Structure 1
Amino acid sequence: MATSSSSTKKAARLAQKGKGQKVRFQGGALFPLIVALVVVLGFGLIIYARQSRPSADASAPTIEDHWHHAYGFLICDTWVQLDGDGEAQDANGQPTNVEYARTGIHSHDDGLIHWHPFSSASVGGRAKLGVFLDTYGVELSEDELQFPEDQRAQLPEEFQETGRFESGETECTIDGETSVGHLQVTRWNNLSDTDEGTTFIAGFDDVALNEDAMVVSIAFVPDGTTVGKPPSVEGFDENSLNDSGQQTSNELFPGVDVTPDGDVTVGTALLDPEDIGPAVESESNPTETETTEAAADEAES
């Protein structure tokens, strides 16, 4: 018992002696100094990175740019292009194609992509193939190409009913031989390029169109098919003048506002494609039927 009591007293004396003393790191103050330095440098790097990184929309194309790209869909052995310019309006003067109204990216039935952005939705790093396809409601993934009903008339007849091409499933018949087709996108950085271009087998919507006068072939073809540039490269210079008198979204659609971020509004209301009616003929541009009937009435009188 004496031994135990002696040990207890020693422990108590040591505890009392240690009260108020500071714990020291081995090596003195060097370690805390290093930790503090690392923290300060870390914050400095974060601040530098935020201040020095370029704006997401700082690179071309900008809203001031007016670019053109030649494009085409090679379906088996037939080249096709999309129909319409997207500028139609309903009876209230509102755009029937909201995607065009927000981005300004469309075509003029000429096999060219006319790239003159209306908002930040289609500038800089957002200048991608998917922006153009969205204007026409075309869906393109690595597995499937789907044309909307209003874009099927120009397809080969056997595909007009569904407008659907499934990679590795849908068949093509070329020169009497039938085999399954596969999707790919080939891009050339300039009209004058004579190489085979860059071929993509995935990520089609994200194919960048970040230089003027690029060429894009969207193909559904059997493996081994040589995919060249689309026919629209031949009339490029002439057709690029089709919208030389470029208008802003507000000039095209009075009363409709497009914010810098690409929201399309009428007054204070956000415009949704389901809120608008069908396109109507302008009174200054009557249809052929209306013109004929008017001429007949005038003749009778």
Structure 2
Amino acid sequence: MNIQQMQYFAEVCRHENVTKAAASLHMSQSTLSLSMKNLETETGLNLFRHVGRNIQLTADGQALFQEVEKMLKQVKRFEASVKEIAKRHNRLQLAVPSQIATIILPLLLGEFFQQHPEIQLEITEPAGGAALDMVEREEVDLAFVHDAEGRPNLTLRKLSSWPICLCVPRSHPLADKPSVTLAEAAAYPLVLLSRKFILTKRVLAEFDRQKLQPQILHYSPNLSSIWNIVQQGIALSILTGNGILQDSNLIAIPIEGLAQKGFIVTKKGRQIYADERCLIDFVRRKFADAPEHMNRTP
């Protein structure tokens, strides 16, 4: 006796009339009558006696009805529990490092929230390497990062590519150049993101590879601190192209031969729930539909 049969049987018992029960269930009387006959055959019980156009429950029918009602109440509690569990997946935990946050957060907190106010977002802004660690430990549902190769436990969904740039004030002598070399960048005092950041590790490795000795004044975990130092002309910085606000007083000059990819990162083998899939599809669609906005270099 399956759940559907229980529901049909309970409705007939409540109405004591197959026609009314069929109307309540939005099905034909003949189909419901056949279902009740099949139920009697399967259970081997005589469940009903006919009294005119109505029916009455036999003693066996009454006993079965009591058990079925108990079972259906349990089913309702089970369904309510499942819905409560599902609600927890309306809260997504995200890791979004500061550079890519400049382009991702306006999307998430603006248009995505307006379209899906039922989905709660809990966002942290760690360094890129730390964000990947959080995904691997399942402390967050997903992360948006620059470059994530060498992590076999993670699934990467590419968003786009951006040049790695020398960040200078608009008044700087290099501001009008279409590109610079890393050697030209190394000729100026620099302030970089903390060593934990994927970008900084990449840049320092490239300095070593090219046997360059840059003057690095400071490593900061805060992008806003770096912007302020550069705006005041104290030092230049090296950032991903999308790590500079469009309306700032800064210029991002691509460094020849250096670029970073952007990815959405999830734990490999971990189930992707509906709300998580909704967010992933939204962001990927925005990057695909508006590359001139998402991928431009300030």
Q: TM tier, shorter chain?
A: under 0.3
Q: What TM-score do you get using the length of structure 1 for normalisation?
A: 0.25
Q: What TM-score do you get using the length of structure 2 for normalisation?
A: 0.25
